[in-house]
Amino acid sequence: MTVSNPQLDVNGELTHLLTVEGLPREIILRILDTAHSFLSVGEREIKKVPLLRGKAIFNLFFEASTRTRTTFEIAAKRLSADVINLNVGTSSQSKGETLLDTVANLSAMHADMFVVRHSQSGAAHLIARHVAPYIHVINAGDGRHAHPTQGLLDMFTIRHYKKEFSALRVAIVGDVLHSRVARSQIHALTTLGVPEVRVIGPRTLLPSNVSELGVHVYHDMTTGLKDVDVVIMLRLQNERMNGALLPSAQEFFKYYGLTPEKLANAKRDAIVMHPGPMNRGIEIESSVADGRQSVILPQVTFGIAVRMAVMSILAGNA
Amino acid sequence: MNKSLPDAEDLLARLAERMRANVTPDTALIGIHTGGVWLAQRLHKALALKQPLGTIDVSFYRDDYGSRGLHPKVRPSDIPFEVVDADIVLVDDVLYTGRTIRAAMNELFDYGRPQSIRLAALIDRGGRQLPIAAQFIGAEFSVPDTEQIELRKSDEGRLSLVLTRQGAR
């Protein structure tokens, strides 16, 4: 059976990273293993390797981002690439240029790679379909669809602390409905063989078909967090909400905000993750965010190594 | 064509003897993945060196990345000592074009400026494409360009050399 996967070239090698869905297990593991080697580069006096010298990487952000854009920029610079940051919301697009025209113009400036964030699901796919074959595209978040590098850095974080995926219970908590991060995490966890993935949230913030992804659905934190090894909190995405899905942020915190009391239901050595930016006091209490089980800041550091791995694998598959 | 490869264990013993008078307890060994790491572990013990053993994977510094992409199995480099002013011996299994050694030296300088770098190789098969020479070798042994000399390690830790076909790396 051959399913056309726009991320893979004719040899089955990764040429774009658009989504974790359908990404072969071996490719995910190769990215994690490569990232592991890049981690030690970040601990050296000179944190650079020469792999992408002479390559031009365009950070195309049609939607605001600090952490993701910055870590992509650092990753590219540590690979010795030239990085050009474009906040497109404030430039040509507002003058009426189409997405593909913007990309065509940047390609004429000899771009080798695009890192794309866009509020429309499928934007990175569209670009990947229209660029020359030697140009690589990384999806840095598209609408509610996918955020593959975040999903992969989360897998890296879990493996770093838990070593094996095969015996884990992982809970993803909060606004799954609007979360491209959650979708990428669920696909990655399933592909890597995590036997039990749970989602916890109010009915209004869980997609109606979420159980089709192979996850267990909980509406209550006490039972949902029982004996889990990993707790992944999601940001409450106010800016993506249409209509009254929630009575109030305070109400949400009361039932789904991660407090030390709720966390006590998880295993004693459970780790707490969050993709950022955090809403303290809404989805997570400060004492947990800054507590001994929190690995939220290591996630950011690992994100650089994972993005270096993705960029160097893509650019090497000419 | 049929001359057989020398025994890796004999060569290793000879290499250790050749190095013995030329290292101090402060000399630092760095093995190049994967065969060089096995050799460096054995040499480190045989020469009773004090500095912890370093390992290096040159994948991020190879000059064929543009044509061959990133090596599918990159292992982390681990240099557990201060490189600045260190007296370093790089250890590799087979010295051939010299490109791996060039890459390893470039990587090392991103850790600091060593006092000196010397090179130890189990086998020098000639065919250099860069001005690089080893200070310590087990033996010289030339084979045709179409063949590759590979170091292998048995489950019991015994090293051996095998000839395989295929283009040079």
- Whether residue B117 lies inside any domain: the answer is yes
**A110 lies in some domain:** yes
Q: Say whether pLDDT at A281 is over 90.
A: yes
Q: What is the mean pLDDT of residues A259-276?
A: 97
Q: What percent of chain B has a predicted confidence (pLDDT) above 70?
A: 96
pLDDT for res A88: 78
Based on the domain organization, do A182 and A259 belong to the same domain?
yes
The pLDDT assigned to A94 comes to 66
Nearest to A37 among B67, B69, B75 (CB): B75
User: Residue range A62-76: average pLDDT?
Assistant: 93
- Domain of A106, CATH number, reads 3.40.50.1370
H-helix segments, chain A: 25-41, 67-78, 99-108, 123-130, 148-162, 180-191, 221-224, 249-256, 260-263, 286-289, 296-316
In a domain, A249, yes or no: yes
Q: Which residue of B has its CA nearest to A318?
A: B69
pLDDT value at position A237?
81
* B169 pLDDT tier (thresholds 50, 70, 90): very low
A10/B57: higher pLDDT: B57
- Give the pLDDT band (50/70/90) at residue B51: very high
Q: Is the peptide bond before A148 cis (omega within 30 degrees of 0)?
A: no
- CATH number of the domain that residue B22 is part of: 3.40.50.2020
Q: How many domains is chain A partitioned into structurally?
A: 2
E strand spans, B96-167: 116-124, 136-140, 147-153, 159-165
CB contact under 8 A, B110 and A34: no
Q: In terms of CA atoms, which chain A residue is nearest residue B72?
A: A30
Residue A30 in domain: yes
β-pairing, B159-165 vs B147-153, is antiparallel
* Burial class of A228 by CB neighbour count within 10 A (0 to 12, 13 to 18, 19+): buried
> Min CA distance, A57 vs chain B (Å)?
16
Asked whether residue A72 falls in the same domain as residue A154, the answer is no
Asked if residue A71 belongs to a domain, the reply is: yes
- Assess if residue A2 is contained within a domain: no
Tens digit of each residue's pLDDT (9 = 90 or more) over A27-42: 999 999 999 999 999 9
Contact A45/B69, CB-based, under 8 Å?
no
Quick check: A316 contacting B, CB < 8 Å? yes
Do A39 and B76 contact (CB within 8 A), yes or no? yes
User: Which residue in A37, A48, A51 is closest to B65 by CB distance?
Assistant: A51
**Mean pLDDT on A292-312:** 98
A-proximal residues of B, 89-108, CB under 8 Å? 106-107
Q: What angle do CA B122, B127, B130 make, to 5 degrees?
A: 95
Q: Which of A34, A39, A134, A312 to mutate to test the interface with B (most CBs of B within 10 A)?
A: A34
User: What is the rounded average pLDDT of the residues B77-99?
Assistant: 97
Q: Which of residues 2-31 of A touch B (CB under 8 A)?
A: 13, 30
Q: How far apart are CA B11 and CA B42, in angstroms?
A: 12
Q: Are residues A123 and A157 in the same domain?
A: no
pLDDT value of residue A4: 67
Q: What is the pLDDT of residues B57-81, one digit of tens each?
A: 999 999 999 999 999 899 999 999 9
Residues of B in Cβ contact (< 8 Å) with A30: 72
> Given CB atoms, is A247 within the 8 Å cutoff of chain B?
no
Q: Which residue of B has its CA nearest to A53?
A: B66
d(CA A251, CA A267): 26
Q: Chain B residue closest to A309 (CA)?
A: B70
> What's the pLDDT score for residue A1?
39
Average the pLDDT over B112-118 and give the result. Answer: 97
Residue B102 in contact with residue B95, Cβ under 8 Å?
Answer: no
Distance in angstroms (rounded) separating the CA atoms of residues A28 and A91: 35
User: Rounded to whole angstroms, how far apart are CA atoms A146 and B83?
Assistant: 43
Closest CB to B70 among A44, A50, A312: A312
Higher per-residue pLDDT: B100 or A210? B100
Are A98 and A198 members of one domain?
Answer: no
pLDDT value, residue B59: 96
Decide if B158 touches A, using CB distance below 8 A.
Answer: no
Residues 28-87 on B with a CB inside 8 Å of A are 57, 59-61, 65-70, 72-78
pLDDT of amino acid A238: 74
Average of per-residue pLDDT values in chain A? 93
Confidence of residue B87 (pLDDT cuts 50, 70, 90): very high
- The alpha-helical segments, DSSP class H, found in B79-124 are 99-109
Per-residue pLDDT for B20 more than 60? yes
Domain range spanning residue A48? 25-146+300-316
Q: Is residue B1 part of a domain?
A: no
Evaluate whether residue B147 is within a structural domain. yes
What is the average pLDDT across A269-292? 96
Residue of B nearest to A31 (CA): B72
Say if A196 is an interface residue toward chain B (CB within 8 Å). no
Examine residue B3 and state whether it is found in any structural domain, yes or no.
Answer: no
**Distance in angstroms (rounded) separating the CA atoms of residues A141 and A88:** 15
Closest CA to A59 of A316, A311, A300: A311
Q: Is residue A176 part of a domain?
A: yes
Domain shared by A182 and A118, yes or no: no
- Selecting from A45, A48, A50 the residue whose C-beta is nearest the C-beta of B112 gives A45
Residues of the domain holding B69:
8-165
Within 13 Å, how many C-alpha atoms sit on residue B31's CB side? 19
User: What DSSP assignment string belongs to A48-111?
Assistant: --STTTT-EEEEEESS--SHHHHHHHHHHHHTT-EEEEEEGGGTGGGGT--HHHHHHHHHHTT-
Nearest residue to B69 via CA among A313, A37, A32, A38? A313
Please check whether residues A198 and A240 belong to one and the same domain. yes
Confidence of residue A97 (pLDDT cuts 50, 70, 90): confident
The model's confidence at residue A2, banded by pLDDT at 50, 70 and 90, is very low
- Binning pLDDT at 50, 70 and 90, where does residue B1 land? very low
Secondary structure tally for chain A: helices H, strands E: 11, 9
Q: Please tell me the distance from the alpha carbon of residue B72 to that of residue B89, in angstroms, as a whole number.
A: 27
Closest CA of chain B from A304, distance in Å:
16
What is the arithmetic mean of pLDDT over A153-180?
Answer: 97
* Banded model confidence at residue A244, pLDDT cuts 50, 70, 90: low
Task: Check pLDDT > 80 for residue A90.
Answer: no
- C-beta neighbour count of B76 within 10 angstroms: 16
Task: Answer yes or no: is pLDDT of B15 > 50.
Answer: yes
Half-sphere exposure of residue A194: CA atoms within 13 angstroms, side-chain side: 27
Is the confidence at residue B168, as pLDDT, over 60? no
Q: Across the interface, do A37 and B65 touch by the CB < 8 Å criterion?
A: no
pTM for the full model? 0.93
Is A177 in the same domain as A244? yes
CB < 8 Å to A34, chain B:
70, 74
Chain A residues touching B57 at Cβ < 8 A: 37
User: A123 and A262 share a domain?
Assistant: no
Contact B72 A30 (CB under 8 A): yes
Q: Is B55 exposed, middle or buried (0-12, 13-18, 19+ CB in 10 A)?
A: buried
pLDDT of amino acid A184 = 97
CB contact under 8 Å between B68 and A316, yes or no, is: yes
Task: Please report, as a single letter, which amino acid is at residue A192.
Answer: L
Residue A160 touches partner B, C-beta closer than 8 Å: no
Q: Is residue A260 part of a domain?
A: yes
For residues A103 and A238, membership in a common domain is answered with: no
Q: How many domains does chain B have?
A: 1
Q: What's the gap between Cα B18 and its chain centre?
A: 15
Report the complex ipTM.
0.89
Residues A265 and A180 in one domain: yes
Place of tokens 């493996």: A159
Q: Nearest chain B Cα to A48, which residue?
A: B110
